[in-house]
Amino acid sequence: MKRAHALLLLLVVLLLAIPAAPIESRTYVLQVLTFMFVSVVLAQSYDIVGGQMGYVNLGHITFFAVGAYAFGILFNLNMGLLASLALGTAVVVVFAALISYPFFRLRGAYFSLAAFGLVKLMEQLTINLGWLTGGSNGLKVTPGNRVLAMYYASLGVVAAVVVASWLIERSRLGLALKTIREDEEVAEDFGVPTFRVKAQALILSAVFPAIIGGLYTWYINFIDPNQVYGLSVALTPVAMAMLGGSGVLVGPVLGAVFLYLMQELIYTQTAHLHGAMMGLVIVLVGLFMPGGLVRLGPVARVLRRLGLTVEEA
Amino acid sequence: MSVTIAVQLVVNGILLGGVYALAAFGLSLIFGVSGVLNLAHGEFLMGGGLLVWLAWDLTGLNPFLLTAMIAPLAFGAGYLFEKGLIRPLAQRKEHVRLASAVLVTLGAALMMEDIADFLSLNTQYEKSVDLFLPTIVLDKVYLPSLKLVILGLVLALIAGLFLFLKRTYLGLAVQAVTQNRRGALLNGVNTVRINAIAFGIGTVLAAVAGGFEVVDTYVAPNIGLPLTLKYLCIIVMGGLGSFAGVALGGIIIGLGEAIVGFFQPAWGQTVAFLLLVAILLIRPKGLFGR
Amino acid sequence: MGNHHTHDGNCLELGRRKFLTMAAAGAGLVMLPIGQALAARNEIVIGGTLAQSGPLAGATKPFVALANAWAKRVNNAGGIYLKKLGKKLPIRFIFYDDQTSPPQALKLYERLATVDKVDVFIGPFSSFLTNAALQASLTHHIPFFMVEANDEVLFEKPNPWRTTGLAPAKTEYSRTVPLFKDRADLKSVALLGRENLHERQSVEGAAQGFRDLGMQVVYDKLAPANTKDFSSVVLAMKEQNPDVVLVEALPPPWIIGFLKQARELGLNPKEVVAGHVGVPVIKAMGKSGNNIVSFTYYFEGNTPDHKELYAISHAAGVEPWMYPEIGLRYRAFRRIKDALEHAGSLDKEAIREAMWKQKLHLYGEETIEYDKRGYGTDIPYPNEILGGKMVSLWPLDKGRRMHKPKNGMW
């Protein structure tokens, strides 16, 4: 395990030190990384329910969106950064708890699409409650120079969600999630309190997008429904998790980093057809890397040696 | 609210629902046979609409005729799509196959949208066919002839689909595979070919719906994914694998959008999802789900 | 799909090294353009983003080609003359695709500032993208020429580095509505706008304009941005029997949807006004589009400015009336050139000052300048659809003579 720890330490030091790097495009690099961290948090937190538990939650983005709006509204009431974040996250947790019971009566594709329906509903609600959210004109918060703070804060949330996923995986909750994923009926027969477990997983998966959503609003200082509920924003975390390898600890992280950097590369180096190239990359991974990047021969071997076991698909 | 407006709304709703149902049937057929939720389905609709528009812009021929002419192309496209992208996934375990299918069809959808975007580079983005048939006025209720023609064609196609499924060997084979894949295989059905054929037919339905869409309203490269998700909601609402469910689902959503859109325009487009969630909470397997 | 090979340590070392190298290469490629930007500065670099994908992609199709065509013309004459350097410098545009996404716009303007090291910014399409883009101008003190942006949001916080060419949204119809002056046959007007800040304000302005002409506003509503079915609106308008119907929306599908359904359901006013009409609407309506009044950011004429506008449009493969904002983009190019010339150097503070003080004469009759807040003077000129094209209706006396009322002829 020493090799794994050394590598991890190196990565952490690198990430912490980048703001001090003496390159002129430092702020640009920080911004690129910051938005990448947001993607990582969304993909990784999605996978708690999507990968560990096997319920493809196409509605995961609502936690991000509600967190973003809740923060914005509270921050505009002069509640300060930390209080707004905390309270905003609490709102999302309550929201997750409320929807878990009705939605977890559904299984498979029914659950996934009903969850997606929730995104559209919340989007419309946000637009219609204009007095609260600013409607289709969006919500703004007072701006400020927050590049550095946002970088470290989002890096912190990334660390938190990865550690949390790791802890869940090794806990009794994680075991319960796995049994539900493999065969829910059998799990019930064996006395696993499935409803409670599913609700717990959903709530846990909701905390991190809520926090990063609030930070996102704080950083970009203007959000509108399309930005936080949009189709691509909703589907990207799922695609990232699947691409990287759903159900494996570092799968979503890998998928998010890979896809995000690919996007940065493609979009700034070529004049046209970026979307087509991105699509092609995703198709190729789907065709030739079943189980995602993380189960690809060389990658899997590396991860195994690093002590991050890869389950057999 | 007067009776005329009420009638008008019902007419509008059924017209809307009819076109939804047509494309949703295609998706349902594909899912029933191959178990794949084709996220690129809406792109085939968009592609069909774009082709019809292009042909119309160049030749000026009747767009319905042109739609019929591109149907074989659509079949071929769907067939090849299945052969090239979906068949390789068949041997994978279920969880893996699901994730792979999502990636493959989503990636394909992104590619198709962007290529259409690129091809529209020096022309207009939104494309609409200019075809106007005089409106029939029945006692102050306005029946747009164009929409009636479209509805008629949709009904004819759906009737044709049902006849195909119930009366031809191929159709029965399709039903057999939908109900029990292994059983069908054991009975000598070439399930591999049936998969491809189902994709072909489903894609034809999508492309034809696209041809109707470009005449009725408009088509643009970015309409694909949102429509795919709407159709997914319809087939899930109706119950996966049930054709009657699709028809009912389409009508319900069409009526819902028309009626709610009249009273509360703000909620018109969201009705589909509201109904989906509501129905699933009452019947977790959809209206006619097995 | 199992892998039954076993490997010794060597192979693994290779695997890990490969992995790390790939990661490093990936990061490196992102920062590659730093090298490019360190090249000698003997050109003027203008940077911006345009929505080449996402919901607004349709509105900006020819804009990159347009900019490059204009740059080519300027460079063919040697470039822009900068007095303090005593010579002309060629110009170059850099455009990235912001995917109609504010975070992308934010990042990319930052990149333009720090990696590409642009001299000035040209704005993206739409206020909400511009809002994200403006941050880079404040951080790096780079003059920002906003284009299709005039929401109040942008002006809430004073920012000395940006101006917009557009006049406030309320004035959008102020050159178009007077087309109907002294029309005794027009007594009532029905207005429909898309539910959005811009459209709300422009419809307000238009309504007041009609009132000033002595007409009565019999219907004045906004419908949600995602409306597909306008039958309820059309039916409600029909009840009022308006002489003029005005529909204001930025995205073409909205206008196409409304007009097609108005036609189907028998709404036949004497005059139809539709804002922001371009090729998609024209082709969609065919013959029914004739005599629909709209507006665009130029008018027909033959001053040298006109000739340049036509030349760069043709070089980009379009006519200036095909996209409502082509005229607006051209004005932005001219604003940039004028500011650079008056600054006489690439000093950003000098350019900024020159920008605010601009009094640029265009088309032989108008002056581009800004008010205290940074709003400009761009107000679109009326035109109408005729025979599959748009025909200018300016000056107004000529326009009033040329224009024939629609009179319900779909």
Tens digits of residue pLDDT in A71-114? 999 999 999 899 999 999 999 999 999 999 889 988 888 888 88
Confidence of residue B277 (pLDDT cuts 50, 70, 90): confident
Q: How far apart are the first and last CA of chain B?
A: 40
Do the domain assignments include residue C148? yes
Q: What share of chain C is helix, strand, coil (3-state, %, to 5)?
A: 45, 20, 35
Residues of C in contact with B217 (CB under 8 A): 228, 253, 256-257, 260
pLDDT (0 to 100) of residue C7? 42
Judge if C120 and C51 occupy the same domain: yes
Span C358-384, pLDDT tens digits: 999 999 889 999 999 999 999 999 999
B117: chain A residues, CB-CB within 8 Å:
275
Q: What is the pLDDT of residue A202?
A: 96
How far lies A141's CA from each of A27, A223, B251, in Å? 21, 9, 43
Question: Does residue A272 sit within a domain?
Answer: yes
> What average pLDDT does the segment B115-120 reach?
85
Domain locations along chain B: 3-220
Residue of A208 and C7 predicted with greater confidence: A208
Could you tell me the CA-to-CA distances from C232 to B6, B116, B260, C249, C262 in Å, in that order? Answer: 11, 33, 10, 17, 10
Contact yes or no for A157/A41 (Cβ under 8 A): yes
> For residue C34, is it within any domain?
no
Structure tokens at C299: 């008018």
Average the pLDDT over C120-139 and give the result: 90
Number of domains in chain C: 2
- Measured between beta carbons, which residues in chain A are less than 8 angstroms from residue C224? 127, 136
Residue C340: enclosing H or E segment and its boundaries?
helix C326-343
Query: Are C278 and C375 a contacting pair, CB within 8 Å?
Result: no
C23 vs A142: which has the higher pLDDT: A142
Report yes or no on C408 lying in a domain: no
Residue C20 lies in a domain: no
C85-107 b/e (C-beta count within 10 Å ≥ 16 → b):
eeeebbbbbbbbbbbbbbbbbbb
- B47 and B116 Cβ atoms separated by less than 8 Å: yes
> What is the three-class DSSP state of B242?
coil
Please check whether residue A20 lies inside any domain of the structure: no
Q: Check whether C12 has a pLDDT greater than 50.
A: no
Query: With DSSP H G I counted as helix, E B as strand and the rest as coil, what are the percentages for chain A, rounded to 5?
Result: 80, 0, 20
Per CB-CB distance under 8 Å, the chain B contacts of A98 are: none
Kindly list the residues from chain A whose CB atom is less than 8 angstroms away from the CB atom of residue B96.
Answer: 290-291, 313
Rg of chain A in Å (alpha carbons):
19
Residues C152 and C274 in one domain: no
In a domain, C1, yes or no: no
Mean pLDDT over B172-199 rounds to: 86
Question: Which chains reach chain C with 3 or more Cβ–Cβ distances below 8 angstroms?
Answer: A, B
Q: What is the mean pLDDT of residues C3-22?
A: 45
**C247 & C308 share domain:** no
Domain that holds residue C291: 171-297+382-402
Is residue C178 included in any domain, yes or no? yes
* Nearest partner of C278 among B53, B128, B61, judged by Cα: B128
Give yes or no for a contact between C274 and C190, defined as CB atoms under 8 angstroms apart: no
Question: Is the CB of residue C191 less than 8 Å from the CB of residue C217?
Answer: yes
Dist. CA B197–CA A300, nearest whole Å: 37
What percent of chain A is predicted at pLDDT more than 70?
Answer: 97
Among the listed ranges A236-250, B236-250, B259-273, C6-20, which one has the minimum average pLDDT value? Answer: C6-20
Domain count, chain A: 1
Of C18, C30, C101, nearest to A32 by CB-CB distance is C30
Both C245 and C335 in a single domain? no
Residue A310 lies in a domain: no
CATH number at C104 reads 3.40.50.2300
Which residue from C minimizes the CA distance to A4? C16
Residue C11 has pLDDT above 50, yes or no: no
- Domain assignment of residue A227, given as a range: 2-10+27-305
Residue C291 and residue C230 share a domain: yes
**Residue A19: predicted pLDDT:** 83
Q: What is the band of C23 on the pLDDT scale with cuts at 50, 70, 90? A: low
C 92-111 residues with CB < 8 A to A: 96-97, 99, 101-104, 106-108, 110-111
Residues 19 through 78 of chain B touching chain A, CB cutoff 8 Å: 37
Residues C176 and C270 in one domain: yes
Identify the pLDDT of residue B96.
Answer: 81
Residue C159 and residue C105 in one domain: yes
pLDDT for A309: 64
Answer yes or no: do C316 and C180 share one domain: no
A114 vs B277: CB contact, 8 Å cut-off? Answer: yes
Please report the pLDDT score of residue B129 as a whole number: 83
In tens, the pLDDT along A22-68 reads: 777 788 889 999 999 999 999 999 999 999 998 999 999 999 999 99
Residues C304 and C161 in one domain: yes
pLDDT digits (tens, 9 = 90+) for B210-230: 999 898 888 888 889 888 988
Which chain A residues touch B88 with a CB distance below 8 Å?
A: 287
Element (H, E) at C212: helix C197-212
Is residue A19, in this structure, part of any structural domain at all? Answer: no
- C71 C-beta neighbours (distance < 10 Å), count: 19
CATH number at residue A32: 1.10.3470
Query: Given pLDDT bands bounded at 50, 70 and 90, which one contains residue B238?
Result: confident
Residue of B96, B114, B124, B259 best to disrupt the C interface, most CBs of C under 10 A: B124
Alpha-carbon distance of B26 to B29, in angstroms, equals: 5
**Taking an 8 Å Cβ-Cβ cutoff, which residues of chain A contact chain C?**
23-29, 31-32, 35, 127, 135-138, 140, 143, 145, 220, 222, 224, 226-227, 261, 264-265, 267-268, 271-272, 274-275, 290, 297-299, 301-302, 305
- Domain contains C9: no
pLDDT of res. B290: 64
Answer whether residue A15 is part of any domain. Answer: no
Q: Which of A105, A242, A274 sits opposite B99 (nearest CB)?
A: A242
Q: Are residues C208 and C292 in the same domain?
A: yes
Using CB atoms, pick whichever of B108, B277, B280 lies closest to residue A283.
B108
Identify the bridge partners of residue C384 per DSSP, sorted by sequence position: C293, C391
| Total Cβ atoms within 10 A of residue A68 | 27
Contact A117 B88 (CB under 8 A): no
CB within 8 Å: C228 and B217: yes
Clarify whether residues C354 and C217 are in a common domain: no
pLDDT (average), residues B7-30: 85
Task: Using the predicted structure, report yes or no on whether residue C163 has a pLDDT greater than 80.
Answer: yes
Are C31 and A265 within 8 A, CB to CB? no
pLDDT > 80? residue B46: yes
Query: What is the pLDDT confidence band of residue C39, given thresholds at 50, 70 and 90?
Result: very low
The answer to whether residue C25 sits within a structural domain is no
| Closest of B33, B225, A275 to residue C51, by C-alpha | A275
Whether the pLDDT of residue C26 is over 60: the answer is: no
In chain C, what percentage of residues exceed pLDDT 90? 63
Do C108 and C256 share a structural domain? Answer: no
B touches which chains (3+ CB pairs under 8 A)? A, C
Question: How many helices (H) and strands (E) would you count in chain B?
Answer: 11, 2
CB-CB neighbours of C307 under 10 Å: 11
* Inter-residue contact B45 to B111 (CB < 8 Å): no
Residue C220 · residue C207 · CB < 8 Å: yes
Provide ipTM, 2 decimals: 0.87
C-alpha A224/C-alpha A239 separation (Å) is 23
